[in-house]
């Protein structure tokens, strides 16, 4: 007889003290943002380095928004990927990624201040109020109307994909019909193309256009690599908590966490490859319209942050995830996940903040306050969305395979009966 290795059941985590944390983060964020605004008004700056309160708030909001957007986009991509490849190991994490993708609604609301400070007042994007040859050369996209249209199309596409995939997923729980599976696969098949196009054009409009003269064909892919990287890490942590708490106990197997760890390792390398390739190609070509972007980011403490990203975003996670067995160790993976959040935020900061502070990296109270508010709001929404429905897809056709249970095909049963 085959021997089966059993693993001891770990005690549930005590999360009672953490339930109110998202709300506390929101209020703490509002408080810090207000204190930061008051401090900014009280401190006198000379004319060269003076930054208006509206511009400071705009960059703080944009940085926090692009960081939080990563989790929604990463969850949507992982959900699409699950249906495209019809994988069984990712069935236990499907509801987690769906809940991340369902934040598309709140994300759209959080974009409103960017619309106001962008096309509305021109505070955030200087090219909207100062016309130049570089703006005219980019055609209709480099206009306020083009910015608004692209933004609405991107946000609407993400909401539609997340909503429809969630709808048919819950419908499958009720009926178990093959139609639900086919619908989700169809949305994933068309959605992957829409996802790639909208993410690329949205990040070009929202982030790259801060320095509109800059040219890059890898900018969208670089951001995508970071979003997926940090979302895989988040999915790992949430699945681990649900396993310890009970909902995924016995359902999330060792292979689930191993494959998530392997994907995290893969996207660590992918992000480094894309980031280095972009830098190397621009450095090698030495075209002024491209090189100035990195010249800005080598000034003052921005150079130190770039070195930190090289080691912190690549070398440290790369070495930490090399060993197969460590991908399954909670005490090892938890700090790596927290480190991934920090590195991704610094990466987003490195893309955005040099435009506001070209002389060096100087975190502001408003940056931290806006980030805490936005994270608290979205975590609240994510937890409610996740708890609103069963964490385990009730009638997913891959459940048996995910549980390592062999179910003979119907034709075999008929043959046995004859």
Is the pLDDT higher at 127 or at 183?
A: 183
Is the pLDDT higher at 415 or at 394?
A: 394
Highest mean pLDDT among 11-15, 141-145, 410-414: 141-145
Confidence (pLDDT) at 46: 54
Average model confidence (pLDDT) across the chain: 88
> What's the rounded mean pLDDT across residues 189-204?
95
Confidence (pLDDT) at 410: 66
Confidence (pLDDT) at 4: 39
Asked if 336 and 321 count as a contact pair (C-beta separation under 8 A), the reply is: yes
Integer angstrom CA distances of residue 394 from 76, 102, 175, 189, 344: 20, 19, 10, 23, 34
Indicate whether 78 pLDDT > 60.
yes
> What's the rounded mean pLDDT across residues 93-114?
95
Choose the weakest-confidence range: 32-36, 73-77, 341-345: 32-36
> What's the rounded mean pLDDT across residues 171-199?
93
Is the pLDDT higher at 50 or at 22?
A: 22
Indicate whether 7 pLDDT > 50.
no
pLDDT 10s digits, 9-35: 566 666 767 788 889 999 999 999 999
Q: How confident is the model at residue 408 (pLDDT cuts 50, 70, 90)?
A: confident
Q: How confident is the model at residue 236 (pLDDT cuts 50, 70, 90)?
A: very high
Residues in CB range of 277: below 8 A, 6 or more apart: 218
Confidence (pLDDT) at 12: 67
Confidence (pLDDT) at 2: 38
Indicate whether 6 pLDDT > 50.
no
Choose the weakest-confidence range: 330-339, 376-385, 390-399: 390-399
Percent of the chain with pLDDT over 90: 57
Instruction: Using alpha carbons only, give the angle 261, 267, 271 rounded to the nearest 5 degrees.
Output: 150
Confidence (pLDDT) at 221: 95
Percent of the chain with pLDDT over 70: 90
Q: How confident is the model at residue 276 (pLDDT cuts 50, 70, 90)?
A: very high
Confidence (pLDDT) at 409: 72
Integer angstrom CA distances of residue 96 from 130, 133, 186, 389: 44, 46, 21, 11
Confidence (pLDDT) at 8: 46
pTM of the entire structure? 0.92
Distance CA 46, CA 19 (A): 45
Q: How confident is the model at residue 57 (pLDDT cuts 50, 70, 90)?
A: very high
Asked if 361 and 240 count as a contact pair (C-beta separation under 8 A), the reply is: no
Confidence (pLDDT) at 10: 64
> Which tokens is 310 given?
């090289």
Confidence (pLDDT) at 142: 75
Which is nearest to 357 in space by CA: 63, 37, 39, 28?
63
Distance CA 360, CA 344 (A): 19
Indicate whether 38 pLDDT > 60.
yes
């Amino acid at each position: 007889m085959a021997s089966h290795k059993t693993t001891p059941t770990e005690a549930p985590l005590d999360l009672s003290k953490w339930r109110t944390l998202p709300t506390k983060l929101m209020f703490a964020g509002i408080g810090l943002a207000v204190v930061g605004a008051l401090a900014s008004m009280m401190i006198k700056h000379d004319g060269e380095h003076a930054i208006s309160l509206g511009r400071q708030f705009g960059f703080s909001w944009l940085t926090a928004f692009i960081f939080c957007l990563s989790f929604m986009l990463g969850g949507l991509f992982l959900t699409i990927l699950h249906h495209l490849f019809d994988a069984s190991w990712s069935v236990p994490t499907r509801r987690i990624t769906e809940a991340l993708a369902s934040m598309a609604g709140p994300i759209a609301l959080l974009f409103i201040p960017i619309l106001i400070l962008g096309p509305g007042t021109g505070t955030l994007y200087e090219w909207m109020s100062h016309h130049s040859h570089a703006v005219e050369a980019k055609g209709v996209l480099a206009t306020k109307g083009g910015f608004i249209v692209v933004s609405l199309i991107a946000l609407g596409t993400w909401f539609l994909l997340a909503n429809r995939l969630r709808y048919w997923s819950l419908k499958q729980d009720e009926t178990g019909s093959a139609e639900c599976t086919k619908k989700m696969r169809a949305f994933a098949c068309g959605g992957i193309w829409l996802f790639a196009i909208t993410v690329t054009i949205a990040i070009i409009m929202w982030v790259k256009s801060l320095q509109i003269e800059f040219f890059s064909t890898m900018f969208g892919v670089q951001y995508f690599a970071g979003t997926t990287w940090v979302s895989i890490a988040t999915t790992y942590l949430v699945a681990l908590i649900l396993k310890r708490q009970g909902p995924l106990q016995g359902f999330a197997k060792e292979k689930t966490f191993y494959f998530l760890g392997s994907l995290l390792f893969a996207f660590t390398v992918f992000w480094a490859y894309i980031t280095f390739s972009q830098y190397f190609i621009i450095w090698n070509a030495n075209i002024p319209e491209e090189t100035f972007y990195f010249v800005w980011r080598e000034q003052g403490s921005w150079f130190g942050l770039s070195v930190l990203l090289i080691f912190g975003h690549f070398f440290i996670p790369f070495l930490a995830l090399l060993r197969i067995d460590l991908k399954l160790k909670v005490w090892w993976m938890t700090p790596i996940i927290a480190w991934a959040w920090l590195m991704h935020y610094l990466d987003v900061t490195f893309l955005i903040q040099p435009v506001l502070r070209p002389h060096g990296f100087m975190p502001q109270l408003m940056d931290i306050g806006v980030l805490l508010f936005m994270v608290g709001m979205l975590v609240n929404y994510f937890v409610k969305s996740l708890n609103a429905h069963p964490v385990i897809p009730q009638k997913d056709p891959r459940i048996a395979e995910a549980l390592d249970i062999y179910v003979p095909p119907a034709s075999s049963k008929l043959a046995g009966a004859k």
